[in-house]
Structure 1
Amino acid sequence: MPRTILVADDDPHIRQLLVFALAKAGLGTLEAADGEEALAVAEAQAPDLIVLDINMPRMDGLEVCRRLRAQGEVPILFLSSRDDEIDRILGIELGADDYVTKPFSPREVVARVMAILRRVAGRPPQVEQATSTIRHGQLALDPEGWQASWAGTPVTLTATEFGILRTLAVMPAKVFSRDAIIDRLRGPGFAVTDRTIDSHVRNLRAKFGQVGCQDIVETRAGIGYRIGACAG
């Protein structure tokens, strides 16, 4: 049976374009014209992935995402009309699996949908099994409590942000490519794509910068990321 994609957007023209492009790629489709309908269709039909517009009547896409993620881990690709919404999307606890900004190419949306589906269907995650507190410089991570602190000051992180930081901190000498980070995170709640890693890293730098840490993550151009010195 083909994978089924729910397209939720209040613009019928956008729905028509995406449904046509997804069907051409061999995917089944469902439609919803507002947030409440999207939630009802998702609960009744259990699609494999949801293409979800943020700005919809009756219930916005972020609220739909929160409610769906409280019930399960269906992958979600957001449609955003403004670039400045992206960090807000990726910064919420439930997060987005990926996003596309309007105007967009239907071909790009199909490509991102297929990439997410491949990630979700991939092998089980290869994650570090450390359960004791991880310390690096002034950074401390509690894997069991999913809590982070800097020089004793708690720093609130999303699950994905914590997972990225833990991946880097347990192997401080290693430079991880974006794909390698995704491989370590892959599993329930972590169906992220390579470019969303960059946004999560920006969020980590901003959050730790607020408590005085300017060296939380180091970028290696053309390669990826590793944990910074965390010396303050």
Structure 2
Amino acid sequence: MNHHIGIVEDDANIQNIVAAYLKKEGFPVTVMETAESAWELWETRQPDMWILDIMLPGMDGYEFCKKIRQESDVPIVIISAKDEEIDKIIGLELGGDDYLTKPFSPRELVARVKRLFKRTSPLTETNHTPDDRVKAGDLLIYEHDHRIFWHGLEEDVTTKEFAMLLLLAKHPNRAFSREELLVKIWGEDYFGSDRAVDDLVKRIRKKLVSVPLETVWGYGYRLRIEEEPS
């Protein structure tokens, strides 16, 4: 089954073109004209990706992107007539995974959609291996099942939260720079600020209360695990 894509765009012509090209590639799509209607869809049937315009009536695309990022790491491709570098930086820092300036090639959009799915899917689409687990202190991770337990209780985490915890748990007490974390979790082609790493850490700490995710000031983060006496 192909991934479901939500298109949030108030220009009917762009709606039709984008939807037609994605449907041709086998993607089921839902088209909406406002961020408010997109949020209603999110609460009932969550798309696997958003294609999001910035300049929308009512709630704008920036605010919608921010709201989605508070709940999920679902891929977001921003399409906008705003072509200044600062607009792109804002969109990416708020959680966008890619940014296309209008007018754009529909074929390029499809290529970027496929690339994003390819980049994010390996974190969840793995073979089931019951014994494939990573343990670091009171943190237990079943890598291929994509499940995390903290103090024996299962926690609901997003894709990037899982990726960061898995990376740090596999290398306890090793300090990773923000730049390293950006490359390993967001990918080498990510264009944006390392503030994304800090935001991700804040969300993890909020969910896994007292998790020993330690700040290495001026550098990055590590998972501090006390060595068991021999």
TM-score for both structures, normalised by structure 1: 0.59
Q: Is 1:165–2:179 an aligned residue pair? A: yes
Are the equivalent residues in 1 in contact too, given 2:92–2:99 (CA < 8 A)? no
Any residues of structure 2 matched to 1:53-64 within 5 Å, and which? 53-64=53-64
Equivalent residue number for residue 7 of structure 1: 7
Compute the displacement of 1:3 (Å). 1.2
The one of 189, 196, 204 equivalent to 1:195 is 189
Equivalent residue number for residue 75 of structure 1: 75
Are the equivalent residues in 2 in contact too, given 1:32–1:41 (CA < 8 A)? no
Hey, what's the Cα distance between the residues in 1 that align with 2:103 and 2:187?
A: 20
Hey, what's the Cα distance between the residues in 2 that align with 1:19 and 1:31?
A: 8
Unaligned runs of 5+ in 2: 124-142, 144-162, 198-217, 220-230
Are the equivalent residues in 2 in contact too, given 1:6–1:42 (CA < 8 A)? no
Are the equivalent residues in 2 in contact too, given 1:89–1:96 (CA < 8 A)? yes
Hey, what's the Cα distance between the residues in 1 that align with 2:80 and 2:6?
A: 16
Compute the displacement of 1:53 (Å). 0.5
TM-score for both structures, normalised by structure 2: 0.59
What whole-Å deviation, never above 9, does each CA across 1:148-182 have from its counterpart, x for those lacking one?
A: xxxxxxxxxxxxxxx74354xxxxxxxxxxxxx64
Q: Which has the higher contact order (CA 8 A, sep 6+)?
A: 1
Equivalent residue number for residue 157 of structure 1: none
Give the secondary-structure state (helix, strand or coil) at the position aligned to 1:114: helix
Q: Is 1:87–2:89 an aligned residue pair? A: yes
Hey, what's the Cα distance between the residues in 1 that align with 2:47 and 2:195?
A: 31
Compute the displacement of 1:193 (Å). 5.2
Equivalent residue number for residue 148 of structure 1: none
Aligned length: 156
Percent sequence identity is: 30
Compute the displacement of 1:22 (Å). 0.1
Hey, what's the Cα distance between the residues in 2 that align with 1:46 and 1:81?
A: 26
Q: What is the alpha-carbon root mean square deviation over aligned residues?
A: 2.9
Give the secondary-structure state (helix, strand or coil) at the position aligned to 1:195: coil
Hey, what's the Cα distance between the residues in 2 that align with 1:67 and 1:200?
A: 19
Q: AA paired with 2:59?
A: M
Hey, what's the Cα distance between the residues in 1 that align with 2:106 and 2:100?
A: 10
Runs in 1 of length 4+ with deviation above 4 angstroms? 128-134, 201-204
Seen in structure 2, the aligned counterparts of structure 1 residues 193 and 55 have a Cα distance that, compared at 3 Å, is farther
Compute the displacement of 1:5 (Å). 0.6
Hey, what's the Cα distance between the residues in 1 that align with 2:71 and 2:194?
A: 27
